[in-house]
Amino acid sequence: MLCTPYNYRGCFVFPSFSIFQTRFQLHGGSSKKRFMGSNTLPISVFEISKTPPSGNFHWNEFLGENKSTPLIKNVNKNTSIQFQRLQRKPKLFSLNNVTSVVETRGREAVSVKRNFWDYKERLRNYSYMLQTCASKGRYLRDGKAVHGNVIRSCLEPDSHLWTCLVNMYAKCRRFESARYLLDKMPERDVVSWTALIAGFVSEGNGIEGVNLYYLMRMEGVLPNGFTFATVLKASSMCFVLEIGKQVHGEVIKLGFLSDVYVGSALVDLYAKCSEMELSKSVFSCMPEQNAISWNALLSGYARIGYGEEVIKLFNSMTESETRFSEYTLSSVLKGCAISGNLRKGQEIHSLVVKIGTKLDGFVSSALVDMYSKCGMAEDAYKVFVRIKNPDVVSWSGMIACLDQQGYNYEAAKLFSEMMRTGVRPNQFTLASLVCTATALNDLRYGDSIHACICKLGFESDNTVSNALVTMYMKTGSIEDGCRVFDAMIDQDLVSWNSLLSGFHDGDSCDQGPRIFSQMLVEGYKPNKYTYISILRSCSTLANIYLGQQLHGHVVKNSLSNDGFVGTALVDMYTKCGSLEDAHVVFQQMKERDVFTWTVIITGYANVNQGEKSMKYFRQMQREGVCPNESTLASCLRGCTGIASLENGRQLHSRIIKAGHSDDTFIMSALVDLYGKCGCIEEAETTFNSLVSRDVVSWNTMICGYSQHGRGEKALQAFENMLNEGVTPDEITFIGVLSACSHVGLIEDGKKHFDSMRKVYEISPTLKHYACMVDILGRAGRLQEVETLIEKMTDTPDFSIWQTVLGACIRHGNVEFAEKAAEKLFDLEPQMDSTYILLSNIYAAKGRWEDVAKIRGRMSSQGVKKEPGCSWVEIDGQVHVFLPKDTSHRKVKEIYQKLDEVSYKLMLAGYVPDTDSVLHDVTEREKKESLLYHSERMALAFSLISMQPAKPIRIFKNLRICGDCHNAIKLISDMTNRDIIVRDISRFHHFQNGSCSCNDYW
């Protein structure tokens, strides 16, 4: 092999290795030729950083100690080497200044001077060559050639050469050879051990690095600072905190704690293991903090989500005048994203611009992510478009940003632009696009993305497959979702949770418990998302037994303190009707967000316990939780159930202040509240103020007009709805048919009923048939009612036969009433209204024996009559009255007012209608009972408690009797008051001696 003295600059030539192209000159005889490396046999060149003298040398000087075994063969003996003195030291692997000429095609070695180098210098040069191969990390072939020459030269390597060999093989990723050499070394020192450990660490094999460190310590070799830094990095790579702590102890014991690289490695270890207190403690004890230790601490806090701490640390780093890098800025931007600190993020962006950092790599992606997490999608896009050549990471980040911020169409458009630029999407890009299709609820677009996924070969990626399962489940394509799930090779917990998400509601919700059981059988441990999904299935199924079992599992798995799981439990119990259990779970929750409060408020509102809904709402406000649109809508629904007008008006004021006046969902609930509280004019005003009116809004207004006896307005609203292009649904026609019923528009009712199927292709339900029975029954057309029932394809339900029974009582048809009552006894034997209505028709006919039989049958069945009651709200407080009530604190004033009103009624010519009293008592007792009906008690209290200008609104749980109806008409005229009474079926507006129902009720 060709070698030069260590104090000269020369070149080493190995046949058959191609690394560089170099220009060289051949001298042989009288001829001179010039070649380029591309026109010669391939060579490898290693330079020594010294300058040789000028002159000619011969090959024999560079043969091994044994001349019969030259290091370099096949070299022409007549070839000489010429060195030219160099004026400066060139870079490694650059032969621009070298004019040495070597002929590599010859077969015979050249004879040059011997004994130019001594033994030590030759070892040193071999070591240098091996170090050069190792520093590049990919010149294994050259390194092996050097190793071969060492073996052929019969040199006895010293410890440094051994270490260089180990290091070369380790850096060139030949760990078996490196480990073999380490085992063959006569004396293994800390440098050789560390070289192999560092090789494994550079390859990402931290476990093997840690194992080697233990073997080294077992041999009694003491580590140095580089060893400690390397093994600590290995520990952080595989997150073995306990081993890292043991190494930390050795660091302290051997006095390397002040080493800045060891300290930085310790900071990084504890940060990556999320032990931030230990990481910060080591950082604080370091005599000198470098940029590496600052970055490790910053990224650690960012990783565990302590955004504010990241910003605080960066401020301290800036004060210490430590030079920060792009990696530093990306960590700080991540902290801003986590904490939602837009202002600080914008400051960092300004700093990026100021110092001239290019918008690529980590910084650009971090800026896009920061603006995305802070809800500034437009600013994120402005950063993105300034990136000259965005890579797939930048594209993916921007697409994910638009998707998460609700710009789903823009995300889809950006993906199309990405495909046009030729950037190949990765699995994260495609997963974001699948989420976009889910948000758009566009199954066709989702199918196209699925096709793209298959074309690009990402169908086996779990992230993408899980997103596909979720998409198909949420878009209602359950079978496709199940097919994707079954095709997955490696299903994980996320896959099962995605599958469960398709069985929350609908006809397939009963499959949720089965899938959950199968998941448990296959050994998967549910997490909070699993329990949230299966609890939602229980809510839909109203399966409280399974819900209670799941509650036990939640407690057992220590998830009862999780806010989302707690909210799901509260929702399950409320929808299963177990409000007491819901209250217990709610009270035990440590953290209750707006969704939790909304669930409990909605639960009580849905069962007409509006008082408790408002109680929770006020408690929510005291705890500083701001309600959202759903909370306010639920509170309005709770107020509607109990007709709490004052609370509803307070909520209306809050809605205006909070800027929710343009929310169609809330405003529709407000229209419904005013309508059901007897304020049809305010409902109309609110409805007219709506910016956009959907079918729900129109339905609410049409039904409101209907309940208030404004049939013509209800039908006009229906026409306006059609003119605005809103398509009616089933609820719309219930309102329209009810309006026709309340005002006796029989022919109009028939026309709209027929148009459902013929014009709008809506199949009439039992509720629509009940409306038609009511239209015909109120008009006394009972024969047509029978014909209609006979033509029904579905079996008549309770509501239809109850409507028939009411019509029979109104028109005195005992035979048909008995038939309807028998049907009702079969359907709902415990319903008290059937017994009462049949008893009333017998009483009206004077058939007291039949009345007694019905009363006896009612008693034997254990059915109790619901007592009639009326209530009125005054100054935000509800006052409830029963017939002949004596429990009210102002009972004396109430009875005095009743006597006064009765006297005035007698003077006005009022005659009690004792036919309304369906009891076998004396005429005097009948008149007395009429005087103290609950609605009259409520009216008397209102007259003594309310200002004359305010209308009186009375609510009754039963149908108002004929006598009270007549009396209140006269009282409204005598007192010049607007009196509104809502009974079980409709509103009666009494004004100036007349009623809005026109006595057709």
CB 694 within 8 A of CB 666: no
| CA Rg value for the chain | 45
Annotate 495-519 with three-state secondary structure.
HHHHHHHHHCCCCCCCHHHHHHHHH
Number of domains composing the chain: 2
Instruction: Judge whether 378 lies within some domain.
Output: no
Alpha-carbon span 156 to 162, nearest angstrom: 10
Instruction: Judge whether 901 lies within some domain.
Output: yes
Structure confidence at residue 916 (pLDDT): 60
Strand partners, 35: 24
Domain range for 676: 602-629+636-692
Instruction: Judge whether 926 lies within some domain.
Output: yes
Which segments in the chain show pLDDT lower than 70?
1-119, 136-138, 358-361, 914-923, 925-927
Structure confidence at residue 725 (pLDDT): 93
CB 12 within 8 A of CB 129: yes
- Coil vs helix vs strand at 34: strand
Alpha-carbon span 606 to 604, nearest angstrom: 5
The one-character DSSP state at 980 is: E
Instruction: Judge whether 671 lies within some domain.
Output: yes
CB 978 within 8 A of CB 991: yes
Structure confidence at residue 921 (pLDDT): 55
Structure confidence at residue 734 (pLDDT): 95
The one-character DSSP state at 61 is: G
Instruction: Judge whether 979 lies within some domain.
Output: yes
CB 42 within 8 A of CB 20: no
| Buried b or exposed e, range 397-427, using 16+ CB within 10 angstroms | bbbbbbbbbebbebbbebbeebeeeebebbb
Are β-strands 952-956 and 979-982 bridged in parallel, bridged antiparallel, or unpaired?
parallel
Q: Would you call 93 exposed, middle or buried from its count of C-beta atoms within 10 A (0-12, 13-18, 19+)? A: middle
Sequence-ordered list of residues with C-beta below 8 angstroms from that of 819, at least 6 positions apart, any chain: none
Structure confidence at residue 138 (pLDDT): 62
Structure confidence at residue 334 (pLDDT): 87
DSSP letters spanning 924-953: HHHHHHHHT-HHHHHHHHHHHHS-TTSPEE
Instruction: Judge whether 619 lies within some domain.
Output: yes
Containing H/E element for 197? Answer: helix 190-202
CB 393 within 8 A of CB 427: no
Residue 810, both tokens: 């109104």
The one-character DSSP state at 230 is: H
Strand partners, 12: 46
- Coil vs helix vs strand at 395: helix
Instruction: Judge whether 447 lies within some domain.
Output: no
Residue 623, both tokens: 């705890």
Instruction: Judge whether 940 lies within some domain.
Output: yes
Alpha-carbon span 725 to 941, nearest angstrom: 48
CB 271 within 8 A of CB 296: yes
- Helices of type H across 607-729: 610-622, 629-642, 645-657, 664-676, 680-688, 695-707, 711-723
- Coil vs helix vs strand at 982: strand
Q: How remote is the C-alpha of 275 from its chain's centroid?
A: 28
pTM score, whole prediction: 0.65
